[in-house]
């Protein structure tokens, strides 16, 4: 490789590394922030004792007005808790249970929407006064569904949150990419810089 071309490539590589450093720092801060959210992650379980499989969608209450939103379910990545792509429609087979984790920061767990095999939906109230004592873990951490007939109809605002929860949440993919991609690019650029230096000597 001609020396002038090699020199230009090393200069471009150095510039790319310098420009990438702020993104690397931001990715570290983001990872640290996700690690700190561990303090706000709580878990609960849903037990299905009905005679059929059910789909479970947890709903939360936000703000003084109690606006209903899908509960921010978390994926456990050992040291980090990332937003889960799935936030609703969790399958719980007959006689089994499911354990879910969510970030309780800025939201109170208020309802569980239960869907049967024919698409009918029912509501289990978790917190009857979700706008009080914000934001705390639920008093109960296990919810047993014995019979769908014992559940109440789904309130309109809760139903809207249930519908919103059926769409995949892509924020986890974006967060993971923002953490991993800058470091991957930095590794590639540092490796390229090392190879260019070796060829120059």
Q: Which two tokens stand for residue 60?
A: 């939360």
Q: How many residues does the chain have?
A: 201
- Number of helical (H) and strand (E) elements in the chain, helices listed first: 3, 10
Q: Considering its fold, how many domains does the chain have in total?
A: 1
Q: Which residues contact 7 (CB under 8 A, 6 or more apart)?
A: 200
**pLDDT tens digits in sequence order for the chain, 201 residues long:** 565 666 788 788 888 888 888 888 888 887 777 666 666 788 999 999 999 999 999 999 998 888 999 999 988 655 566 778 899 999 999 999 999 999 888 899 999 999 999 999 999 999 988 888 767 788 899 999 999 999 999 999 999 999 999 987 767 677 777 888 888 888 988 888 878 777 766
With respect to residue 126, please indicate whether it lies within any of the assigned structural domains.
yes
**Any domain includes 21:** no
155, two tokens: 């309130």
Domain assignment of residue 85, given as a range: 40-179
Identify the H or E element spanning 173.
helix 171-200
Q: Would you give the DSSP letter of residue 53?
A: -
| 69 within domain boundaries | yes
Cα–Cα distance measured from residue 114 to residue 91, given in angstroms and rounded to the nearest whole number:
10
In a domain, 94, yes or no: yes
Structure tokens at 171: 């924020």
Residue 115 lies in a domain: yes
Q: What would the two tokens of residue 78 be? A: 């050992």
């Amino acid at each position: 490789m001609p020396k002038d071309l090699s020199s230009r490539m090393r200069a471009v590589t150095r510039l790319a590394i310098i420009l990438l450093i702020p993104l690397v720092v931001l990715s570290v801060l983001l990872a640290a922030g996700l690690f700190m959210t561990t303090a706000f992650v709580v878990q609960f379980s849903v037990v299905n004792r009905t005679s059929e499989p059910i789909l479970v969608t947890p709903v939360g209450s936000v703000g003084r007005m109690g606006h209903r939103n899908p509960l921010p379910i978390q994926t456990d990545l050992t040291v980090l808790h990332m937003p889960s792509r799935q936030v609703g429609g969790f399958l719980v087979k007959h006689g089994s249970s499911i354990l879910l984790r969510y970030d309780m920061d800025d939201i109170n767990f208020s309802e569980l929407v239960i869907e049967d095999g024919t698409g009918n939906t029912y509501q289990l109230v978790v917190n009857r006064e979700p706008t009080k004592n914000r934001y705390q873990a639920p008093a109960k951490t296990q919810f047993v569904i014995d019979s769908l007939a014992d559940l109440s109809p789904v309130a309109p605002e809760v139903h809207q949150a249930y519908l919103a929860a059926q769409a995949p949440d892509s924020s986890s993919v974006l967060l993971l990419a923002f953490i991993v991609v800058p470091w991957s690019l930095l590794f590639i650029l540092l490796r390229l810089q090392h190879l260019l230096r070796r060829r120059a000597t």
